[in-house]
Amino acid sequence: MITIAPLMASSHANPVPRRATITGGGGNGRCTIAVNVDGAAEVEVSGDTGLLTTISGQPAAWRRFQCNAPLPRIPIDFRFVTIEGKGTVRLLQDPRSTGGRAVIHINDYKGGRGSYTFDLQWQGSGGGGGGWLPAPPGPQPTGRAIRACQDSVTDRLNQDGYQYIDFGRTIPDDNPGRRDWITGTVSGKRGFGTVWFSFSCSVDFRSGWVRYVDVRRR
């Protein structure tokens, strides 16, 4: 008789890796991380590499891992900021005392899959230089437009049954007459296969409102 191990057991033993999308640069360092969790999970970040491990419940999934610079080995004035989440999100390991490794624990105890977003922030893009400048009330226009577009693309692919969404190149389109557009590439998994798509969004850069989103299989 063949015994098939539960899918959850293999998921817990095999963290899902992801490389950060590096955009922007300059100023102070920041990484924005978004995941879906149903149960408990941990996110580990070192440099521009992340690992997402499901502790309990359904397999956790990456939504976004976007930075303006890799997390340095000794980040100065490191800050952990929770942006979204209905459960608890806490910093387990501070990168200032672990040689640049941050570990975040997420407990989605309220039932149903939840979306969690948090920031890792530090002084200077490479961990030094300049004084700490408080973050503005919200994301800057370009970053806000990119985030809104990626959220809309993720929702569209999730509705079509794709999970483990991974963004490739994501840039504002600076062609004449199209400066309110975000374009890029993204992959998603459905079943055992990974599919790549091209996407474009028309976004109001001031408000972050997505007027239109188009996702096409490559």
Q: CATH 3.10.450 occupies which residues in the chain?
A: 141-217
State CA 215 to chain mean position distance: 19
How many C-alpha atoms does 55 have within 13 Å on its Cβ side? 13
pLDDT at residue 130, as a whole number: 32
pLDDT at residue 127, as a whole number: 42
134 band by pLDDT with thresholds 50, 70 and 90: very low
Q: Which CATH code for domain 141-217?
A: 3.10.450
pLDDT at residue 175, as a whole number: 57
Residue 149 has pLDDT above 90, yes or no: no
Residue 57 has pLDDT above 80, yes or no: yes
Cβ(38)–Cβ(61) under 8 Å?
A: no
The dihedrals phi and psi of 70, each to the nearest 5 degrees, come to -65, 150
Cβ(118)–Cβ(82) under 8 Å?
A: yes
Q: CATH 2.60.40 occupies which residues in the chain?
A: 13-123
CATH code matching the domain that covers 13-123, chosen among 1.10.1760, 2.60.40, 1.10.1740, 1.10.238: 2.60.40
Mean pLDDT of the chain: 80
Amino acid at 190: R
Residue 7 has pLDDT above 60, yes or no: no
**Helix, strand, or coil (residue 52):** strand
Q: What average pLDDT does range 101-122 have in this prediction? A: 89
pLDDT at residue 1, as a whole number: 43
Amino acid at 25: G
Higher-pLDDT residue of 5 and 122 is 122
| CA dihedral over 120, 90, 61, 150, signed as positive or negative | negative
125 band by pLDDT with thresholds 50, 70 and 90: low
CA–CA dist 122, 94 (Å, integer): 12
